[in-house]
Structures are given as C-alpha cells and as structure tokens.
C-alpha cells in the first residue's frame, strides 16, 4: 500500500488513480496522520480467469466492462501473410518485454 500526503495526491491525482485501477491501495495522510484510503472497486472476480486478474493487477492488461458477444469470436480474422505479428512477438521476447 502506498502512502501519500494530500498535497502530493492533489498534484499527481492521475498517477495515483492509475495505481488504484491496477489494484493498489493508496493511504492518504494529513500532517502525518492517516485520514482516508482509496481502494479499487471489486468486481465479480469469479467470472474472470485468475491469470487475467494477475495481469490486470500488474497493469499489463485492462479487463473490459462488457462481454464482446458471440459474433466477435466467430468473426474472420485478418490474414497475416508475411507473418509480421509472429516476427514482432518473437522480437519483443528477445528484448525481454
């Protein structure tokens, strides 16, 4: 849990809200005393696979609020005739990303 003074929170609110969105809690202090805590809203995590929740908490993915629907999964995917997607994925892995 991160701790911050009100003045620092006001100056960097967006930064702290990003941390909360990724699952972190922020304790707010005034003159060194804790006065409030910002916590992320909990959703029904039982319907979301654990590996996705781990990635979201690490800030690597963002889980959408709505279901994409069955049409999405049946839609044709664009062809990657030159294999660029695979090449870029392998390149990122080599770079440690």
pLDDT digits (tens, 9 = 90+) for 63-91: 877 778 888 888 998 889 899 999 999 99
**pLDDT tens sequence across 29-44:** 999 999 999 998 776 6
Question: Would the pLDDT of 12 be above 90?
Answer: yes
Closest CA to 13 of 32, 29, 26: 26
Q: What is the pLDDT, as a whole number, of residue 77?
A: 85
pTM for the structure as a whole: 0.47
Torsion angle (degrees, nearest 10) of CA 77, 87, 64, 71: 10
CATH of domain 2-70: 3.40.1620.10
């Amino acid at each position: 849990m991160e701790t911050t003074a009100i003045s620092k929170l006001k100056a960097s609110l967006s930064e702290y809200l990003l941390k909360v969105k990724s699952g972190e809690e922020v304790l707010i202090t005034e003159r060194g005393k804790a006065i409030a805590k910002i916590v992320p809203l909990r959703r029904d995590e039982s319907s979301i696979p654990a590996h996705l929740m781990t990635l979201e908490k690490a800030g690597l993915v963002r889980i959408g609020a709505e279901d994409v629907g069955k049409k999405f999964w049946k839609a044709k995917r664009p062809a990657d005739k030159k294999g660029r997607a695979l090449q870029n994925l392998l390149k990122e892995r080599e770079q440690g990303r």
